Chains A and B, each alone.
Chain A
Amino acid sequence: MPDPLPSSEHRYGRRGFLLLVAGGASSLLWAGPISSFLSPLTSAGSQLVGNLFPVGGWRIYTISGSMPIFDPASWRLEVGGLVKRPRTLTYDQLTALPRAEQTSTFHCVTGWTVKNVHWTGVRFQQLFDLVQPLPSATAVRFVSMERPYDDSLTLEQLRLPDAMLALELDHQPLSRPHGAPARVILPEMYGYKGVKWLTKMEFVAKQPRGFWEQHGYDQNAWVGRSNGYGS
């Protein structure tokens, strides 16, 4: 037992330390809901200061510091390259294609995860049927309205059952932070492979290195098996 202190002295130090540790450790249980609760604030803040903060479990990243604005009247999705029938789709034409839905987990390479995300969109096979890739095409380069953000996936990867060109998130059209009007989703890979604010799909013979690959990230960003994870 420590010696009793004079009445003018108080052992506040260890009490304060233990309270901080207890509060901090317990936040492992409540930090998520608080973070979601604060999301309108952090979302507004994130657009101002380069998207540093989490938004309802998500973190919104941009490479240029500002998010592209989607105008349904002028936006087009150009689908071309090594295809028989290149097409330029309006938003209405894209949304008129047969829809698919899925609920999947979204993994970011920085370590955060959002579970049970409901996506609605178009399977890539629908687009393949529309433009008819040539036999020499092996991959698709996806180009964002946010320049110079691009990335690519192989045709084989795009035929995985849960690869999708997403148009809705949790039953709502994609918001600006989530890549309105269309973004690529492949749940087996980290999010940087899923180009947001999509404006162009180019079928190519050889898979090119995208924006993040040119900065040392893995081409095949399998969750748990790339970028230093599980290695």
Chain B
Amino acid sequence: MATAPDVRRLPRFSRTERALHWVHASAFFVLLGSGLCLYLPSLAQLVGRRPLLKDIHVYTALAWLVALALVILAGDRRRLLADAREIDVFDDDDLGWLRRRGNPQGRFNAGQKINVIVTAALAFLFTLTGFFLWYGERNHAFRLQNALVVHDWLMYISFFLVLGHLYLSLVHRSTRHSLSGITRGWVREAWALKHHAKWAAQASPDD
């Protein structure tokens, strides 16, 4: 007997994809926390220990880059490449969905595609400005006056982006089931048919 769609599970994110997400997410929060303790006087005052916090910030950034590279090298690269291709392409349904016309969506909806693109750009720019901040202390030829300003702007942008991301994945009733995809790897077929109809119609259930 076939299982009902509200119980059937569709595999959404592989281990590699989930590992990439969680490496990125956990590093982000450590970097945000340590960065704010270095940046905001009220937190700097509360926490103190500036050299330790600076070490935590710099070494977390390094560990984040190494972990991302390891996940890509040791993980399912074919799958990641397929993700990149999927995120690269916006079809008429994506554009319609962005205009709130409710067009059916693939495995990533247009908003998620934009989130990945912006997050990837932020990661690159954080790394670039962070490098100039770190290396500029050692070699003053690389000390760029604006690197700190840009690093801070990136923090504000990513902070609000993450707030929206957390709202949709933890709070908003109709979208929060997506959390199951990035934690357990699967989502309910009925939910997928509603939110990612084009992908759900083609995906094979787990059961």
Show the binding face of A for B, using Cβ within 8 Å: 5, 8-14, 16-17, 20-21, 24-25, 27-32, 35, 50-52, 54, 61-63, 65, 109-113, 115, 215-217, 224, 227-231
- Determine how close the nearest CB of chain A comes to the CB of B106; give it in whole angstroms: 11
A50 touches B121 (CB 8 A): no
Can you add 4 more A-B contacts, CB < 8 Å, to A16-B121, A21-B124?
A21-B121, A24-B150, A28-B150, A216-B49
State which residues 106-142 of B face A: CB under 8 Å: 113-114, 117-118, 120-122, 124-125, 128-129, 132-133, 137
A98 vs B48: C-alpha distance when bound (angstroms): 39
Would B41 and A63 count as touching, CB distance under 8 A? yes
Q: Is the CB of A215 within 8 A of B44?
A: yes
Q: Report whether A8 and B41 are in contact in the complex, using a CB–CB cutoff of 8 Å.
A: no
| With known contacts A13-B117, A28-B150, A52–B87 Cβ distance under 8 A | no
Q: A51-B41, A216-B50 are in contact. Are A13 and B87 (CB under 8 A)?
A: yes
**Option from A8, A20, A63, A109 in Cβ contact (under 8 Å) with B91:** A8
A230 and B121 contact, CB distance less than 8 A: no
**List of B residues within 8 angstroms of A111 by Cβ:** 133, 148
Chain A residues near B118 (CB-CB < 8 A):
20
- In the assembled complex, which residues on chain A have CB atoms less than 8 Å from the CB atom of B45? 63, 215
Contact of B182 with A by CB under 8 A: no
Task: Judge whether B146 and A29 touch: CB under 8 Å.
Answer: yes
> Counting chain B CB atoms within 10 Å of each CB, which of A14, A20, A24 scores highest?
A24
Contacts A24-B154, A215-B45; A227 near B88 (Cβ below 8 A): no
Contact: B146 with A17, CB < 8 Å?
Answer: no
Q: Which B residues are CB-close (under 8 A) to A109?
A: 50
Top 10 A-B pairs, shortest CB-CB distance: A228-B51, A13-B88, A216-B48, A20-B121, A215-B48, A24-B125, A31-B146, A61-B41, A12-B90, A216-B49
Q: Is B29 an interface residue when CB atoms closer than 8 A count as contact?
A: no
What is the distance, in angstroms, from B111's C-beta to the closest C-beta of chain A?
13
Query: CA separation between A13 and B83, bound complex, in Å?
Result: 11
Contact A230 B137 (CB under 8 A): yes
Closest A residue by C-beta to B149 = A31
> Do B91 and A110 touch across chains, with their CB atoms under 8 A apart?
no
The verdict on B73 contacting chain A, using a C-beta distance below 8 Å, is: no
* A residues near B114, Cβ cutoff 8 Å: 16
Please tell me if the beta carbons of A228 and B89 are within 8 angstroms of each other in the complex: no
Return chain B residues, CB-CB under 8 Å to A112.
148-149
Between A5, A16, A51, A109, the greatest number of chain B beta carbons within 10 A of the residue's beta carbon is seen for A16
Report whether A31 and B153 are in contact in the complex, using a CB–CB cutoff of 8 Å.
Answer: yes
Contact flag A27-B121 (CB < 8 Å), given A11-B89, A215-B48, A217-B48 = no
Interface check B92, CB cutoff 8 A: yes
